[in-house]
Structure 1
Amino acid sequence: MKSLMKKVFAAAAAIATVFGLAATTVATANAADNATLTVSTTDAKFAGKTVNAYKMFSATVSGDGKAVSYTLTDGWKPFFKNSTFDGLTGVTDENVNDQANAYVSKLTGDDLVAFATKASNWAQTKTNNVTAGATARVSNNATDGKYTATFNNLDYGYYVVAVPGATLANANGLYATLVSVHSTQTDADIKGDLPTVDKKVQVNGTDKKNATDAKIGDTLTFTLTSTIPDMSAYDTYTFNFKDTLSKGLTFGQVTSVKVEGVDDPLTVDTDYTVTTPTAPNNTLTVAMNDFKTKQQANAGKKIIVTYTATLNEKAVVGGAGNVNSATIQYSNNPSTDGTGESEPSKVRVFTYGFTVDKYTGDKYDEGATRLAGAEFTLAPKSGTAISFVQVTAGSETENAVYRVAKAGETGTTTTITTPANGKVVFQGLKNGEYTLTETKAPAGYNKLASAIGVKVDGQNNGTDTTPATVAINYNNDNGSDYSQEASNGVIPVQNKSGVTLPSTGGMGTIAFTVIGVLVIALGVAWTLKRKNA
């Protein structure tokens, strides 16, 4: 009996030792959790954004790190019990852990992508009461081209990692990272995209571009293009186009809001509302109404806003142009009803000018005599004279300034007159060829025998702080060979003075001489006659 009891106690001790070792192994694995997860992206749009990690499964790892077992967390059980996944049926409270493990372990390719999308949406839906187990923030600056967010002291587990609001326009796209954290250091990529807007401009039906040129008074057409996001995680969704116009643009009207592939345009005040620009911000807002209800079915399609604006008298001439910037204001957190704003998309509208410097003399320099009173017209090549508004009359020290007139503006003129310093500035022109005609020369000077051809060629493909490169070239016979360059945009225009034409007889002097001789002769004759009397 004593021998049997010794064997029983020995066996019990052995069993206890085995379980003790097992417990030690698990405890060691758990104690070593303190995992670090680093997620990264090369996309600057994510800089400064919040990243959430939702633990779907907890994990235990063997001491050698070769074996991992997962246990479904309580908060995620309704996700598997109540969702309709192909191949996942008969889930109960008793088997949900095994069913979930088996289902997820078999997912690959597009099925895994679709699962990640659904899991991310479900986790972020307020009514499901799932909170992020950890939160990190993406760095504002890139290191080796990557923006990173680091989660420290994570428990081992299987995580859904998502940036709130980062829903791809394509509802089948991947916008959440599924990652198994079962070692002390794990790296993964940030998935998904954020709403963006692409702004373009066109003049007179030309191709849509990031930059264009126009003359004051021209009407331009702007398009704002974005993509309808997947809004599954949201009860309601804010989606607003916000466009800040430069002071050089006068808003016209929103001409259409359309969804790609949908025949009928959206209706103002029903599908969207318009807030027109006002000082000082000059911001146009096109706010979508009940966006999720009306447009969730169109997730992945483009939505395009088109509006018009006119280049006005406040337009910047040359320089970095007239910069206009558009953004999307969008819902970025299903749990808080918060909103974010996309990176701005900018376009620039350029308008140009040049200066005429009227002088006389054989040498063109600072010491040359400048001429006031010369009158000119400026017209597009083979076109009619352009109407201008005088901005500055000019003086002996100040240039005269004329800008292109807007349609219907009063106090306009087609005649441009040089001031005392001889210099007149033409402003508000677009690229093209022009004819500069002197219609009246200053008193005492000969009018130009031919009009002057002028070519304006401004180019800029840089950033919104990069000045335009403007070439002003001209010729003195109004031809098509613009071989002379206007230094600093100044065209010297010479007038030659008139001269007194030579005479051939001097008849007036001869007549006075004859009369004088006759007077003298008559006087002598009269004197002699008195003496003889």
Structure 2
Amino acid sequence: MGTVLKQKMSMLVGLLAAIAMAFVLTPVAAHATPTSPTDVADSTVTINNLIDGDTVEAFLIADADIDASNNLTYTMAANLPSAYDSIDKIKVVASDGNSFHQGSDMQNAASAIAKAFADAGTTAAASATASGTSATLTLGSGYYLVRVTSTSGQTRVYQNMVVDASPVANASGTYDAHPAQTIDVKKTDVTIKKGVGSEYKESTDKYSVGDMVPFKVETVVPNYPADSKDATFEINDQPTAGLEIDTTSIKINGVAAVSGTDYTITAATNGYTIKFAKAYVLAHPGEAITVTYNAKLTSAAFSHDANDVTGNTATVTFNPNPYTSTTVTPDSKTKVKTYGFVFKKTDPDGNALKGAVFELKVTNKDGSTTTLTSTSDENGYVYFEDLGEGTYTVTETVVPAGFSKVADQTFTLNEASCTQDNPATAVVENNYLVSSVNVVDPKQPALPITGAAGTFALTAGGVALLAVGIVFFLRSRKQEL
């Protein structure tokens, strides 16, 4: 009997262990089923108008429960602002899926609660990551603050919401789970767009060295909640080598940029930063901001590398989650493309001529003139660069000894023709026009004999002629006699 009893006890222990293991391994979803005989099942809230990868979080404001007497009761969360610390105060501002505008009662409540929860470090009761343009939360019964954070790298600020997921009374006098909800969240897209040239496109090749190039930056003030903990909004712009900003030309919405209560500006020839005050940002949600300025194109603009681009990068810095200090910085870039041309200077026999000087006068957009010069090297190469699209004429101003000046040379530069490298530098550049015809200086014609040898020859000739004349005269006299 002892052996049988031990075997049965062993089997019982094993069965209990198996049951315990089953409980351990079986996943349990929070609020997946009613937590009491009178509770209701969870409900779902789908948030639309998102970007793939955005994070959606729900923070419990009021936990709903149905007691044994079939009464619906609420337990309020800790750390709520005093203006929203009772269920009656929450019910009147909860979202119906339509009211998400800055300044609305619901938005004011959501902003205040979001700030209070952020300050207290309150953790989310549920979260989901957007797949495509939506994310679905499964929520236990109650009221929730729903917050969306743009963690996908996109440039958005989302509006907070107070959502009602409370049980709903049915005809029999009991409660059902709240029907599934679908809500289109409101947001502000904080983008930045940079333009260059008279038409403010992404790139231009219409400018040459010495020109003032116009630029424009366009963005929008983020639509932050009224009680944002942080409300950063900054515009930065930094040109590459070859562009020097005229700081006196910077304007914001058509008005000269000067530091004041609305913003501060720090500007130099190599870039500027505009920092908007929090009060201004919160008072002007969604306002368009346009910054314009001019930058001078210098000789450093010419690319000596196929990957080296002259232009600038503008950025806007803001908080996708205004209840933290975390910021993102989307950017926009422009390009100023310049060209060059090169030809080879030779003698009539094809030999390279060193020391020939050519001059090119560039008429700038403002009517002024920039003069460029280039001297042929030991290989005879003459080249000019930092030039915009157009036709250019060069004149030889210094001619090597023994040669005559060549006629003026004309070259037409554009994106289609300037695709080669400069043979004078042997650097990959992809923006040169290389002349297929050499520029030939003709040799000077023979000049009349001059100097001592010439003088001697002339004297000898004169003496000979004089001698002939004397002989002729003497013979004539003799015949007369």
> Normalising to structure 1: TM-score of the pair?
0.57
Tell me the residue number matched to 1:457.
Answer: 414
Matched to 2:409, the amino acid is I
Matched to 2:346, the amino acid is Y
SS in 1 for 2:340: strand
Q: How does 1:38-437 map to 2 (within 5 A)?
A: 43=51, 50-56=55-61, 74-75=76-77, 82=83, 96=88, 100=91, 104=94, 107=96, 109=98, 117-126=107-116, 131-134=122-125, 146=132, 155=140, 159-164=144-149, 191-202=186-197, 206-213=198-205, 214-231=207-224, 232-234=226-228, 237-253=231-247, 255-258=249-252, 267-276=258-267, 283-288=271-276, 291-317=277-303, 319=306, 321-336=309-324, 338-360=325-347, 368-380=350-362, 386-388=370-372, 415-437=373-395
SS in 2 for 1:314: helix
Matched to 1:347, the amino acid is T
Identity %: 26
1:328–1:74 Cα change, 3 Å: same
Aligned length, in residue pairs:
392
> Displacement, 1:285?
1.5
1:120–1:316 Cα change, 3 Å: farther
1:354–1:74 Cα change, 3 Å: same
- Distance in 1 separating the partners of 2:431 and 2:79: 76
> Displacement, 1:495?
1.2
Matched to 1:240, the amino acid is E
Tell me the residue number matched to 2:438.
Answer: 493
> Displacement, 1:423?
0.6
- Distance in 1 separating the partners of 2:136 and 2:258: 45
- Distance in 1 separating the partners of 2:180 and 2:432: 61
> Displacement, 1:267?
4.0
Unpaired runs of at least 5, structure 2? 1-31, 167-176, 421-429, 449-456, 472-481
Aligned partners of 2:234 and 2:274 also within 8 Å: yes
1:340–1:174 Cα change, 3 Å: closer
> Displacement, 1:250?
2.4
Aligned partners of 2:93 and 2:109 also within 8 Å: no
> Displacement, 1:157?
5.4
- Distance in 2 separating the partners of 1:501 and 1:266: 68
Unpaired runs of at least 5, structure 1? 1-23, 62-68, 84-91, 363-367, 389-414, 460-468, 473-485, 523-533
Matched to 1:218, the amino acid is D
Tell me the residue number matched to 1:26.
Answer: 34
Aligned partners of 2:93 and 2:106 also within 8 Å: no
> Displacement, 1:253?
0.8
Matched to 1:244, the amino acid is Q
- Distance in 2 separating the partners of 1:314 and 1:327: 23
Aligned partners of 2:145 and 2:160 also within 8 Å: no
- Distance in 1 separating the partners of 2:290 and 2:193: 9
- Distance in 2 separating the partners of 1:453 and 1:177: 71
1:427–1:176 Cα change, 3 Å: farther
Tell me the residue number matched to 2:8.
Answer: none
Tell me the residue number matched to 1:399.
Answer: none
1:71–1:370 Cα change, 3 Å: farther
1:39–1:218 Cα change, 3 Å: same
Matched to 2:274, the amino acid is V
Aligned partners of 1:70 and 1:157 also within 8 Å: no
Aligned partners of 2:211 and 2:296 also within 8 Å: yes
- Distance in 2 separating the partners of 1:265 and 1:30: 67
- Distance in 2 separating the partners of 1:177 and 1:359: 82
- Distance in 2 separating the partners of 1:154 and 1:438: 83
Matched to 1:353, the amino acid is G
Aligned partners of 1:380 and 1:432 also within 8 Å: no
Aligned partners of 1:116 and 1:174 also within 8 Å: no
> Displacement, 1:357?
1.6
For each residue in 1:95-150, what CA deviation from the matched residue of structure 2 results, as whole angstroms up to 9, or x when unmatched?
A: 728x82x8758x464578956644542332238969452475858xxx8xx37878
- Distance in 2 separating the partners of 1:307 and 1:487: 27
> Displacement, 1:442?
3.6
1:295–1:496 Cα change, 3 Å: closer
- Distance in 1 separating the partners of 2:431 and 2:310: 24
Aligned partners of 2:194 and 2:202 also within 8 Å: yes
For each residue in 1:227-260, what CA deviation from the matched residue of structure 2 results, as whole angstroms up to 9, or x when unmatched?
A: 1233312256322212232133223315455358
SS in 2 for 1:27: coil
SS in 1 for 2:200: coil
Task: Tell me whether 1:470 sits opposite 2:415 in the alignment.
Answer: no
> Displacement, 1:454?
1.4
- Distance in 2 separating the partners of 1:29 and 1:187: 28
Aligned partners of 1:254 and 1:306 also within 8 Å: no
**Root mean square deviation, CA, Å:** 5.3
Aligned partners of 1:195 and 1:342 also within 8 Å: no
Matched to 1:285, the amino acid is T
- Distance in 1 separating the partners of 2:432 and 2:386: 17
- Distance in 2 separating the partners of 1:353 and 1:287: 39
> Displacement, 1:422?
0.7
Matched to 1:195, the amino acid is V
